[in-house]
């Protein structure tokens, strides 16, 4: 069964480094979606894929939160509103 999540947080880390980290793990788990810096420090991730893969991806984010300086992580279900064409993109 597929699942989509919207994950938002505050990042005190370099956006490029964070984007590479997120894309690497999204590809590892076969997810599609996007990461986008909204303001100076606010980041939004849309992650879609199999339930197990999305959960593993979320676990990776939580485990890396301290190292990657992620704060105020919020996770909510998300209805897929577009076709990500099987790719995980970094939108600047």
**Structural domain boundaries of the chain?**
2-81
pLDDT digits (tens, 9 = 90+) for 22-38: 999 999 999 999 999 88
pLDDT digits (tens, 9 = 90+) for 34-78: 999 887 789 999 999 999 999 999 999 999 988 888 999 999 999
Q: Torsion angle, CA of 55/83/40/66, rounded to 10 degrees? A: 10
Of 85 and 7, the structure prediction assigns the larger pLDDT to 7
CA atoms within 13 A on the CB side of 77: 4
Residue 7 has pLDDT above 90, yes or no: yes
Alpha helices in 1-92 (DSSP H): 15-28, 51-68
In CATH, the number for domain 2-81 is: 3.30.70.100
Residue 31 CA to residue 23 CA, distance in Å, equals: 9
Residue 56 CA to residue 36 CA, distance in Å, equals: 20
Residue 7 CA to residue 12 CA, distance in Å, equals: 16
């Amino acid at each position: 069964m597929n699942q989509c999540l919207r994950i938002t947080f505050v990042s005190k880390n370099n956006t490029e480094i964070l984007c590479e980290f997120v894309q690497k793990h999204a590809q590892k788990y076969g997810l599609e979606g996007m990461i986008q810096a909204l303001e100076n420090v606010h980041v939004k991730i849309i992650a879609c894929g199999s339930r197990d893969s999305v959960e593993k991806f979320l676990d990776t984010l939580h485990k890396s939160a301290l190292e990657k300086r992620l704060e105020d992580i919020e996770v909510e279900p998300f209805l897929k509103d577009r076709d990500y064409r099987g790719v995980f993109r970094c939108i600047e």
